[in-house]
Structure 1
Amino acid sequence: MWVLYRRGGLGDTLLTFPILELLKRSGRKVWVVGNTDYFVIAKEVGWADMVSSEMPKTEFKGKILISYEGNVKPFPEKRMWIVEHYLQSLSLRGEFSKVLPLEPAEKSPLKGCAVLHPSSGSWKKNPSLELFFRIEHFLKKEGYKTIYLIGEADSWLKDHIKSYFESYSPLEIAKALRAALFFVGLDSGLSHLASYCGIPTFIFYGPTDPIVWKPIGERIFQISLELPCSPCFPEVCEERSCFHAKALFAKFLRTFNALS
């Protein structure tokens, strides 16, 4: 059996899934260590055999330790997609799935909805809610049913919105998202999850890097103002001109209308 160790958020964890899939396809058993709420998705789709939050006292045939002290660095030294960085570091080759093989929830509260998620794990990556209120107004006027998604870092949103689906289970959210119409969010773990679930996903980038942190998926639409000072995360300025609501909304409209 092999072991893969990766601490981090939901997005960080999902970006390791191609490693697991390729290892399993080669006939290897895999034990994953990290946030079990996230890695349980890998077990659900058959890409992990065992899941735990701590490193087991077991002898492994191979170890993939993604950390600064491990044998795979958690971030690339040059500007490249982190999935490619991982696979190159491990000399792993082969095609991997762009969509998680999950069945949608039978009674998904997100079925047929445009899902909005204006939050992330860091305020530095969150634009003004004005951007999402503009998008919500536009979509409703176009006849779409909208609903906000609230995950583990988003309870603050309840003071500002009315219609929402709340869940702290990434697996439950994934199955619900499989039935959604499309998703609009930020550079966050739930945006990574939405794109991996196969639905059209519009993602706003401000201070973070859309090249390094591109999600896995087939229908991803990355939207940024492409300012010369971006990306700058985590050293983010107070002005955050990269999150100008009117300008980002205009780019969203152009992207959305081009697909209609």
Structure 2
Amino acid sequence: MHILIVRPGAIGDTLLTLPVIQALKACYEQPSITLVGNAAVLPLASVTGIVDHVSNYELSQWGELFSNRGITTPSLQSQLQAVDLAICWLRDSDGIVANNLRRAGVREIITAPGRPAPGQRVHIMTYLAQTIGITLSQAQMSAGLPSLFPPIAASERRLVAIHPGSGGASKCWPVHNFAAVIMALWRRGIPVLLLAGPADESRLAELQKLLPIPPDPSLLHNLINVPLLEIAQRLSACRGYLGNDAGITHLAALLGVPTLALFGPSDPMIWSPQGPAVRILHSSVFGNLPDTVIMQELESLCV
């Protein structure tokens, strides 16, 4: 059984799709699954063993899915002729994607928007599973990813990881609050792993201006602009994680790291991180989440 899954979207969108793919895989005997999606997530998806093959959605050949001329790249035509089931989580209101796949020889095709309709407050994992006719239990949603790295004893997990950024500025808790939490952790002798990606440069610079020199150099570790697989490895050794509604937050949760996720305008009913140890604080006005409250929650979760 050859299954092709096309899932465009941000890092978090793709990560939240992996447990759904894992549940789908269990429905077939030795299926071969190809995931076409966000390039940053693909190495991680491969290492988990959830998918067998990966391809970057940004490659020009996948643009032919939407072409009025159909699929003309010979290598893609050959690949699609071997596909028994294609699942495309994207908008195809005019049916052109489904028609192109059918003309290329795909036997069964499912297309559905990549997120619930406005007003449909169902978790994204549940929604995606429903579109392909499977039921995802809460246990399956919160199980996380397969173990990727050697286990580390809880007594050896020292760092608390903090990611102050997100893909959208409105989804970010104020920088000065993150600074206050970091300094509170330092006062307790707890080292911090500070995470940032290319989209976080301005927030990172602002945070660095607010932070004093740590009382001990070992209290601050930086992980800036590195591949997702390296972030996963470092996160898996942390005692806890604090972050906004962002892809890295979903990664921490899926890895089983005790995760405190801060939600502002996003609806956690739809987008909440899933994992064995997740706590969510939600306020439509981020100023209503003071750093003292966040620190209390973080302490009870992992400190």
Which has the larger helix fraction?
A: 2
8 Å Cα contact 1:104-1:179 kept in structure 2: no
Unaligned runs of 5+ in 1: 231-241
C-alpha RMSD over aligned residues: 2.3
Give me the whole-angstrom Cα distance separating, in 2, the residues matched to 1:111 and 1:104. Answer: 13
1:75 paired residue among 95, 115, 131 = 115
Give me the whole-angstrom Cα distance separating, in 2, the residues matched to 1:188 and 1:159. Answer: 19
Which segment drifts farther, 68-77 or 93-102? 93-102
Matched, 1:89 2:89: no
Matched, 1:29 2:32: yes
8 Å Cα contact 1:104-1:176 kept in structure 2: no
Name the SS of the counterpart of 2:290 in structure 1. Answer: helix
Give me the whole-angstrom Cα distance separating, in 2, the residues matched to 1:165 and 1:158. Answer: 14
How far apart are 1:197 and its partner, in Å? 1.0
How far apart are 1:76 and its partner, in Å? 1.2
Question: Superposition pairs for residues 239-254 of structure 1, below 5 Å?
Answer: 242-244=285-287, 247-254=289-296
Check 1:206–1:159 CA distance in 2 against 1; reply closer, same or farther (3 A cut).
Answer: closer
2:275 paired residue among 209, 214, 217 = 217
Which segment drifts farther, 43-52 or 164-173? 164-173
Matched, 1:112 2:158: yes
- TM-score normalised over the length of structure 2: 0.73
Matched, 1:145 2:148: no
Q: How many residues align?
A: 241
How far apart are 1:181 and its partner, in Å? 1.2
Partner in structure 2 of residue 184 of structure 1:
242
One-letter identity of the residue aligned with 1:8: G
Partner in structure 2 of residue 44 of structure 1:
47
The Cα offsets for residues 76-133 of structure 1, whole Å up to 9 and x where unpaired, read as 1310110000111111246634244211599xxx962111111011112123211101
Matched, 1:197 2:200: no
Partner in structure 2 of residue 13 of structure 1:
14
Identity of aligned residues (%): 27
Unaligned runs of 5+ in 2: 63-75, 98-110, 214-219
8 Å Cα contact 2:19-2:145 kept in structure 1: no
One-letter identity of the residue aligned with 1:176: R
Greater radius of gyration (CA):
2
8 Å Cα contact 2:15-2:251 kept in structure 1: yes
Name the SS of the counterpart of 1:154 in structure 2. Answer: helix
One-letter identity of the residue aligned with 1:177: L
One-letter identity of the residue aligned with 1:219: A
- TM-score normalised over the length of structure 1: 0.84
Name the SS of the counterpart of 1:215 in structure 2. Answer: coil
Matched, 1:101 2:147: yes
Partner in structure 2 of residue 160 of structure 1:
207
How far apart are 1:137 and its partner, in Å? 1.6
Give me the whole-angstrom Cα distance separating, in 2, the residues matched to 1:184 and 1:257. Answer: 11
8 Å Cα contact 2:126-2:135 kept in structure 1: no
